[in-house]
Amino acid sequence: MMHLWLQIILNGLLQGGILGISALAFSLQWGVMNLINLAHGSFQILAAYLALVLLQRLGLDPFLAMPLVFLIFFAGGYLLQFGIINRVVSGNLFMTLLLTYGLDFVLANSMILLFTADYKSVNTSYANSSWHLLGLQFPIVRTLALVFLLILSLLLWLFLEYTRAGRAIRATSMSTEPARLMGLRIPKVYALTFGLSSGLAAVGGIFYGLSNAFSPAAGGPLTVGAFVVTILGGVGTSWGPLVGGIILGVLDAVGSVILGPTYVNVITFGLLLLILILRPNGILGRAAA
């Protein structure tokens, strides 16, 4: 029995890795630009398709393809922010919601045209395998997702804390006017942020593609998941997605066994409500501003 619970808590931790790595980009966009990117899930699905195409056409392993996919998404995200999103991002929040909602539509339906609505999965020899350790099963992809999340969170934190560009992003996220007066070019900072987060979203998407079957319409639930994890962990914090993802993953896993899997959504959104009431800025967020 003890062993079962250890495995269930481990499953929750690893699911936390998948959830957290998906929320990393979403949290950054929200925290820095006050942009709730409703197309976030579709970005991830697009990255999963790209990884699949690279695997099938060029035989490129998804983990080797990751830097390339990151760069493509960085460039695409940079241009998208610079060309389109910057036009509305400083305005009403409603406008950015509308724009990213439209973007999600265009992305999802373009993917149906390009890849058909058929379900796909990035299937490598190790995608369904596990490591056995201490009598527990460590599914390879999920374990790596948690490891990558730890590394990426650390890198993101170092980048934001210690580099010039990172400090520019943080300054802009605190307040745009003073940042502008200090000589920062806000549209460029925003484009850099969106590029970076698009790259991170793509990494999350590859992990999703390895661990689940996906179709062009699968983006919606991913966006909702990232939304919940971001609020739990704290908007715009480097470590928030990790903390939020793990808490949500473990609670869902344990709760789904005690109460039954039907109640997973009740647990998830109950937790969300609780956090919004008790700590509106998230677990790692600064206390009420």
The footprint of another protein (CB under 8 A) covers 4, 7-8, 11-12, 14-15, 18, 79-80, 82-84, 86-87, 102-103, 105-106, 109-110, 112-113, 116-121, 123, 127-130, 137, 139-140, 142, 187, 208, 211-218, 220-221, 225, 249, 252-254, 256-257, 260-262, 264-265
The CB-of-26 to another protein minimum distance in angstroms stands at 16
How far apart (Å, rounded) are the C-alpha atoms in residues 182 and 168?
Answer: 10
Q: Is the dihedral of CA 228, 232, 238, 239 positive or negative?
A: negative
The CB-of-20 to another protein minimum distance in angstroms stands at 13
Considering beta carbons, is residue 163 or 265 the nearer one to another protein?
265
How far apart (Å, rounded) are the C-alpha atoms in residues 128 and 106?
Answer: 32
Neighbours of 153 (CB within 10 A): 21
Considering beta carbons, is residue 157 or 212 the nearer one to another protein?
212
194 within 8 A of 243, measured Cβ to Cβ = no
Question: To which H or E segment does residue 104 belong?
Answer: helix 93-115
Please report, as a single letter, which amino acid is at residue 20: G
The CB-of-161 to another protein minimum distance in angstroms stands at 29
How far lies 168's CA from each of 32, 173, 178, 242, in Å?
10, 9, 11, 23
Q: Comparing C-alpha atoms, which of 169, 201, 167, 198 is closest to residue 78?
A: 198
The CB-of-40 to another protein minimum distance in angstroms stands at 15
Phi and psi at residue 182, to the nearest 5°: -80, 0
211 within 8 A of 141, measured Cβ to Cβ = yes
The CB-of-280 to another protein minimum distance in angstroms stands at 26
Q: On the CB side of 113, how many CA atoms lie within 13 Å of its CA?
A: 6
Considering beta carbons, is residue 40 or 142 the nearer one to another protein?
142
The CB-of-262 to another protein minimum distance in angstroms stands at 5
Considering beta carbons, is residue 9 or 159 the nearer one to another protein?
9
The CB-of-67 to another protein minimum distance in angstroms stands at 25
Q: What is the largest CA-CA distance in the chain?
A: 62
Considering beta carbons, is residue 6 or 71 the nearer one to another protein?
6
Considering beta carbons, is residue 34 or 123 the nearer one to another protein?
123
Q: Comparing C-alpha atoms, which of 8, 13, 21 is closest to residue 249?
A: 13
Considering beta carbons, is residue 9 or 60 the nearer one to another protein?
9
